[in-house]
Structure 1
């Protein structure tokens, strides 16, 4: 079995991996959060709505609207859960589109400055 010898001028695998943790060229590291705060707030809001909305609608409509019929109240609670879920998907799509539009506008502005 042949082994490979490390020549003194050659870097080892561990030394090559150190470049991943090196400081950027500016000298400052990026300490921005991976997920923006407004995204976390939206997620927490929809999580709260997913818990409170269907359960609250079940108990509110059980006696007030459906006169004790738990089947109808449960179906209404399931519909409310779907409404919250669809609302979250719509908000997520709109946010994704605004991010893409901002990136395009930034790209256009940078292109005009170069010319």
Structure 2
């Protein structure tokens, strides 16, 4: 069996891979944009914080002041407040999705006009 000798003027496989255009991956520009926009992460963190603080805070604020020690009603109020935060998150997410669709529609409309 014979082996192929590399001539000094030839590039090795590894050197060819480093060159731009040598492979499809090498010719593509890298996209370093974040997968999730920062405003989405901020909204998620805000609603997470609200989901923890509002129900617990409403329970302890109402158990002795509004409901005079009745923890059942205070617990029910905390559950209602947790659902209110959840509904608020769903509404914000739906509005954001609608605004994204409208922005995409405007982009396609401007491309059609050209």
TM-score (norm 1): 0.77
CA RMSD of aligned residues (A): 1.5
The answer on whether the counterparts of 1:23 and 1:29 sit within 8 Å (CA) in structure 2 is: no
In structure 2, the residue matched to 1:112 is: 113
Equivalent-residue separation in structure 2 for 1:29 and 1:103 (angstroms):
23
Instruction: Say whether residues 1:22 and 2:26 are aligned partners.
Output: yes
Task: Summarize the alignment of residues 1-115 of structure 1 with structure 2, pairs less than 5 Å apart.
Answer: 19=24, 21-24=25-28, 28-113=29-114
- Aligned residues between the structures: 93
* Post-superposition offset of 1:23: 3.7
C-alpha contact 1:57 1:77 (8 A) present in aligned 2: yes
Q: Which runs of 5+ in 2 are unaligned?
A: 1-22
- For residues 47-87 of structure 1, the C-alpha deviation after alignment (integer angstroms, 9 at most, x for no partner) is 00000000000000011100000000000000000000000
Could you tell me which runs of 5 or more consecutive residues in structure 1 were left unpaired when the two chains were aligned: 1-17
Greater RCO (Cα-Cα under 8 Å, separation 6 or more): 1
Instruction: Give yes or no for contact 1:57–1:76 (8 Å, CA) kept in 2.
Output: yes
